[in-house]
């Protein structure tokens, strides 16, 4: 397979016209997504229906001709097959029952492979339908981020506060992180066997943690996951997105564990280019709310990013996912600016 511009950039090549994809590129801001989701009946039905999940994975590629598709699934499908019950209440976000703060749960890997088999089928369909110059990105949540949902049973404003669970129940917490680490390694390897060309680890809740805690429970597991993947699939790039890790993003960069790092909305691109670019490829950074705004503000921020990273290995993306009220025409304008 000829290597796509996206794969070449995450592997460190400087490409003049920057490749582009977006976090949450398939989702509620697109009318075609809402139509397919309605057909599926619910978000989880959509995740486990390979034909429909492949359809929504490919919708943003058809609409915007992006360089990469990201598998349509969710980071919380893993705990769903490890012993908790997952549901999405409309307007309230995810629920995992029972929450580990309320009740200890026996975590098991037995049901993972069978439970996640439909996701592998989605990958096979997508890879069959995508042209060779388009990459398919697989993903998983990083252990700490997934653990915050498992511990609390839901998303909260300050997930870093769940470190108190680690302080109060160190044995349970260490076991939880290490179970998630090994489950994630298997899950990502299976995604690669099914056909994804790169994988991204989402550490969405790296902010607000003590430096040593972040080293032990975010960077450490992410690095071991990346190394385990590299040991079997040395050519498959691993991207990590440690959102909100602040200056510690540099520790991710110099660790040598990752091919590329996703920059959060809060990252200064000038700092990133000076401190990180000599160590890894970079991706992302544009404030997703500027795409809601559109117009001159969005264009100026995008142009600044393109200017700053012009001579570096860089993949255009956001600093977090699209929000549901993003106007699709602003996305089209952004893509055409990147393509100029």
Among residues 29, 33, 37, 67, the one annotated as catalytic is 37
Which residue number, 48 or 202, has a Cβ lying nearer to ligand CP3? 202
Nearest residue (beta carbon) to ligand CP3:
204
Transcribe 239-255 into DSSP letters. Answer: EEEETT-GGGHHHHHHT
Which residue number, 240 or 273, has a Cβ lying nearer to ligand CP3? 240
Q: How far is the CB of 185 from ligand CP3 (least distance, A)?
A: 18
Element holding 260 (H helix, E strand): strand 260-263
Residue 215: Cβ within 10 Å count: 15
Q: How far is the CB of 123 from ligand CP3 (least distance, A)?
A: 13
63 is catalytic: no
Which residue number, 83 or 244, has a Cβ lying nearer to ligand CP3? 244
- Binding interface with ligand CP3 (CB under 6 A): 23-28, 37, 43, 70, 72, 74-76, 93-94, 139, 141, 155, 202, 204, 321
Which residue number, 50 or 141, has a Cβ lying nearer to ligand CP3? 141
Which residue number, 206 or 305, has a Cβ lying nearer to ligand CP3? 206
Among residues 8, 33, 74, 165, the one annotated as catalytic is 74
Element holding 112 (H helix, E strand): helix 112-115
Q: How far is the CB of 310 from ligand CP3 (least distance, A)?
A: 26
Q: How far is the CB of 138 from ligand CP3 (least distance, A)?
A: 10
Q: What is the C-alpha separation between 98 and 94, in angstroms, rounded?
A: 13
Closest CA to 8 of 335, 313, 310, 318: 313
Transcribe 266-308 into DSSP letters. Answer: T--HHHHHHHTTTTSEEEE-B-HHHHHH-HHHHHHHHHHHHHH
φ/ψ bin of 153: left (φ > 0), alpha (ψ from -120 to 50), beta (otherwise): left
Closest CA to 142 of 257, 60, 313, 47: 257
Among residues 29, 33, 64, 149, the one annotated as catalytic is 149
Residue 207: Cβ within 10 Å count: 17
Q: How far is the CB of 319 from ligand CP3 (least distance, A)?
A: 11
Element holding 141 (H helix, E strand): strand 135-141
299 is catalytic: no
Residue positions annotated with a catalytic role? 24, 28, 37, 74, 149
């Amino acid at each position: 397979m000829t290597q796509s511009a996206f794969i070449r950039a995450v592997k460190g090549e400087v490409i003049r016209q920057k490749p582009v994809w977006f976090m949450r590129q398939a989702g509620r801001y697109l009318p075609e997504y809402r139509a397919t989701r309605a057909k599926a009946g619910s978000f989880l039905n959509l995740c486990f229906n390979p034909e429909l999940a492949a359809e929504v994975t490919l919708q943003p590629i058809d609409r915007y001709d992006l360089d990469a598709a990201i598998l349509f699934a969710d980071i919380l499908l893993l705990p769903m097959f490890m012993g908790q019950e997952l549901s999405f209440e409309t307007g309230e976000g995810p629920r995992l029952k029972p929450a580990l703060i309320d009740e200890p749960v026996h975590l098991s890997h037995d049901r993972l492979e069978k439970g996640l088999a439909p996701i592998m089928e989605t990958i096979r369909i997508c890879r069959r339908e995508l042209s060779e110059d388009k990459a398919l990105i697989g993903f998983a949540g990083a252990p700490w981020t997934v653990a915050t949902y498992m511990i609390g049973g839901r998303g909260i404003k300050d997930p870093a506060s769940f470190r108190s669970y680690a302080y109060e129940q160190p044995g349970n917490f260490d076991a939880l992180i290490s179970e998630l680490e090994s489950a994630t390694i298997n899950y990502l390897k299976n995604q690669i066997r099914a056909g994804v060309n790169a994988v991204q680890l989402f550490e969405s809740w790296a902010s607000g943690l003590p430096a040593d805690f972040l080293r032990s429970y975010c960077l450490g597991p992410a690095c071991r996951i990346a190394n385990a993947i590299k040991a079997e699939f040395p050519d498959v790039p691993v991207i990590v997105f440690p959102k909100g890790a602040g200056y510690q993003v540099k520790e991710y960069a110099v660790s040598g564990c990752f091919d590329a790092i996703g920059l959060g909305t809060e990252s200064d691109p000038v700092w990133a280019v000076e401190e990180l670019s000599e160590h890894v490829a970079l991706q992302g950074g544009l404030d997703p709310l500027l795409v809601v705004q559109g117009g001159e503000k969005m264009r100026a921020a995008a142009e600044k990013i393109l200017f700053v990273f012009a001579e570096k290995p860089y993949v255009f993306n956001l600093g977090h996912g699209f929000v549901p009220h993003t106007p699709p025409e602003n996305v089209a304008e952004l893509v055409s600016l990147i393509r100029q």
